[in-house]
Amino acid sequence: MTLRKPTILSNELAGALEAQIRTGDYPAGTKLPSEAQLCARYGISRNVVREALARLKSSGLVESRQGAGVFVLSASAHQSFRIVTSEGDRLALRKLFELRLEVEVAAASMAARRRQSEQLIRLEQLLLVLTDSPQPLQIEQQMQECVAEASGNEYLSGFLAYLNGADRLADGFLTVWWSQHRADLIRHWQQIIAAIRLGDPDLARREYWRYLLDSAEGCGIRGLQGWERTRMSNLAEPFAPLCAAPDAMPRRPRLPIPLGACDCHMHVFWPELQRPFTPHRSYTPPPSSLQDYMRVMDKLGLSRAVVVQPSVYGTDNHVTLETLRQGGDRFRGVVVIDPDTPMNELLRMHALGVRGVRINLLFKSGVAVSDVRTLAAKVAPLGWHLQILLDVSEFSDIEASLGRLPVPVVIDHMGHLPPEFGPQHPGFVSMLRLLERGQLWVKLSGAERISADRWPYIDVRPLAETLLATNPERLLWASDWPHTCLPGAMPNDGDLLDLLGLWTDNPALQHRVLVDNPALLYGFEPIEQGQPVGPDEKVSTL
């Protein structure tokens, strides 16, 4: 038998031996060939053989007997716990990464407290090999297992060896991903090793967390355990990467755009020197002015828009309110407030066009779940709504939490559900029940955020079509311009508007989503035929 080179050799050897054990070629009680015999038979190193045998031991298939060798255990002794996956099963891959995130982040933290000098030396040697190894994935797995060994917990070490044996599903994805991003892989491991060498368990946890999130992204897995990539940072060490700018050349959509069409979610950002961002934020946006956006409106044929307060400004609504002041009647706003914001301030906002309060439960924004009912009661007399950004796959009891509020509720970005869960996910189904009863609104937006694919984001289509089939009278379209902190490629806004035409070819439904529903929710006045819909040249550059 000849082992194939592109795969992880220890994984393949473990799989070959396991198959021989389960088919009876190596019955219970049989002694396996020695390390030297296996090396000679397969043309591999002792290190590969030892890693393969460690996987078989962690699976409960064999045991080592001091001075005698490795023996096959009886079937009754085999562990009942198994990880069974099939190629292309993205949901199984997500669950494996979730498990790895909990196990390996904990191992990195322990390693920072317990590592021995020889383990640090081993990690640094592997890092040197990783720089130009033709098989970075094999070296990477050795580094993962070295970190687990440095934890001083043999159960962690054994379980990680088992996971690496089971997690062949990711090998193909990561081989391609890391071949294109080797510099990123090396940087991650440099930071992990530096944290372990420093003996800082919190820093080690954060660095390993970010490394695994990038690994998951390389396999097309987004929103792993929530969409907050900076959850492991703290106030003293903010992690706010600079975002790419939006596509400066939006094309005209192929979809006929009716008069009065509204973009129900966009943002404006001033240069940071002009209006500072909160230090405790998830990203740093590029300047994106009202004038920039109105050129996008003109190109897309949009008549109206809703400017939404972004998390980077916290409760400082100055930029959003100034945008409303300059944008005039064609704009409405959604702000972020404190529970103790005075009513006279809310009335001033209302006069400028504010019609809702945003609660961001996904990224750093200073608003907590406990604020939902308090804020709902505060803005109910104004007829405002609550706009909530959350991942419905991780928000428990949506119906009880959001279905009994005294104000309308708007859910951003189709509930931010990772598409591999599908519309049958319990959290999405709960959202659908509220939508069907007319107890909330949902934005048909964010496909470019949650999809693992490029436009037209085929994996998101079942979610959008299910929403349209459930209650099109409570759906809104939005661009989310200027698309800050995207995990994938920057979209063209004309493409995003054309998604609605791909999700429904019914012109009446398209008109309802683009015109009628926003007019009802945000209180826009009817647009008369002949009223200008292009940018107002009097708007100043912000």
Helix (H) or strand (E) holding 502: helix 493-503
Q: Which residues pair with 71 in a beta bridge?
A: 31, 63
DSSP for 295-313, please give it.
HHHHHHT--EEEEE--GGG
For residue 63, give Cα distances in angstroms to 56, 66, 157, 539.
8, 10, 16, 76
Confidence (pTM): 0.71
CB 150 within 8 A of CB 66: no
* Amino acid in the structure at residue 492: N
| 3-class DSSP state of 530 | coil
**DSSP assignment letter at 44:** -
Helix (H) or strand (E) holding 70: strand 69-72
Residue 542: which pLDDT band, with cuts at 50, 70 and 90? very low
Which residues are within 8 A (CB) of 515 and not within 5 positions of it... i.e. 6 or more apart?
A: 258, 259, 260, 261, 262
Please say if the pLDDT value at position 58 is more than 60: yes
Which segment of 86-100, 140-154, 293-307, 311-325 scores lowest on mean pLDDT?
A: 86-100
∠ Cα 329 332 333 (to 5°): 145
SS (H, E, C) 155-186: HHHHHHHHHHHHHHHHHHHHHHHHHHCHHHHH
Residue 361: which pLDDT band, with cuts at 50, 70 and 90? confident
Please say if the pLDDT value at position 367 is more than 60: no
CB 220 within 8 A of CB 88: no
Distance (Å, whole) CA 212 – CA 205: 11
DSSP for 87-104, please give it.
TT-HHHHHHHHHHHHHHH
Q: What percent of the chain clears pLDDT 90, i.e. is strictly above it?
A: 55
Distance (Å, whole) CA 291 – CA 213: 36
Distance (Å, whole) CA 223 – CA 218: 12
Please say if the pLDDT value at position 234 is more than 70: no
Distance (Å, whole) CA 167 – CA 89: 12
Summarize the confidence of residues 52-58 as an average pLDDT.
80
Which residues are within 8 A (CB) of 309 and not within 5 positions of it... i.e. 6 or more apart?
A: 317, 320, 333, 334, 335, 336, 358
Distance (Å, whole) CA 338 – CA 180: 45
357 token code pair: 């309060």
Which segment of 71-80, 167-176, 370-379 scores lowest on mean pLDDT?
A: 167-176
* Number of CB atoms found within 10 A of residue 514's CB: 29
Distance (Å, whole) CA 55 – CA 162: 5
Place of tokens 């990477």: 140
Which residues are within 8 A (CB) of 391 and not within 5 positions of it... i.e. 6 or more apart?
A: 223, 226, 227, 362, 415, 416, 417, 418, 427
Distance (Å, whole) CA 49 – CA 333: 63
Of the spans 133-147, 206-220, 325-339, which averages the highest pLDDT? 325-339
Q: In terms of Cα–Cα distance, which of 517, 477, 479 is closest to 500?
A: 477
pLDDT in tens, 133-176: 887 878 888 899 899 999 988 888 878 777 766 555 566 667 77
∠ Cα 294 295 297 (to 5°): 60
The residues assigned a catalytic role are 480
CB 141 within 8 A of CB 186: no
pLDDT in tens, 458-467: 999 999 999 9
Q: What pLDDT score was predicted for residue 466?
A: 98
Distance (Å, whole) CA 308 – CA 499: 22
* Amino acid in the structure at residue 340: D
For residue 444, give Cα distances in angstroms to 30, 271, 330, 410, 411.
60, 29, 21, 11, 9
Residue 56: which pLDDT band, with cuts at 50, 70 and 90? confident
